[in-house]
Chains A and B, each alone.
Chain A
Amino acid sequence: DTGVSQDPRHKITKRGQNVTFRCDPISEHNRLYWYRQTLGQGPEFLTYFQNEAQLEKSRLLSDRFSAERPKGSFSTLEIQRTEQGDSAMYLCASSLRLGEDAEAFFGQGTRLTVV
């Protein structure tokens, strides 16, 4: 098992462009999470899926953001009409829902820079 992988690792885009990030969770994990981390801050929750169902979205997830998890495997996070304030590290995590014994495993993140 190679852990949670994210692609790309870095993305530089011009303001107004659309970007899409991909996350491949650990294969047997049914929960997948997206977080955003800005410089000097801790990760902030954006959304999560159980299998293919998106169960919760943070108020941080404006209508320019959309996430999908078709077939309950990999997930994509798309940002439309990017703004400079979207510059951040986007983290993906996955877990197996086992109650108290579950652990969330994080990917290395996609660093987005909007210029």
Chain B
Amino acid sequence: GNSVTQMEGPVTLSEEAFLTINCTYTATGYPSLFWYVQYPGEGLQLLLKATKADDKGSNKGFEATYRKETTSFHLEKGSVQVSDSAVYFCALGYNTDKLIFGTGTRLQVFP
């Protein structure tokens, strides 16, 4: 069946460090891929998405490229800030039918 696997956290970085959070998926057909972010005390928010192979989603300095050949959608940011500290979820879905989420990766950024 369809599934998402993402790296375990927490990921601990100093401010301005480079961030990579790995995400791989197993799916039939051509799902859309998403990164959601959950800040402390808040609901899930869509960070970025990509709907087809080789698409790059980007938002707030974060990027992820839909790689069908490696079934991956790794999240990257060139320079993290303390305010990026949150839990990040990779997910897949088909035309906004149910989303299938990974287990989440907690990012902690220290000044």
Interface residues of A (CB under 8 A from B): 4, 31, 33, 35, 40-45, 48, 56, 58, 91, 93, 95, 97-100, 102-109
Contacts and interface: CB of A to CB of B under 8 A. Distances in A.
Interface of B: 4, 32, 36, 42-46, 49, 51, 89, 91, 93, 95-104
Contacts of A31: 96
A102 B45 contact: no
A45 B98 CA distance: 6
9 contacts: A4-B43, A33-B99, A42-B4, A42-B102, A43-B89, A99-B95, A104-B46, A104-B93, A107-B43
B32 A100 contact: yes
A78 B91 CA distance: 26
A106 B101 contact: no
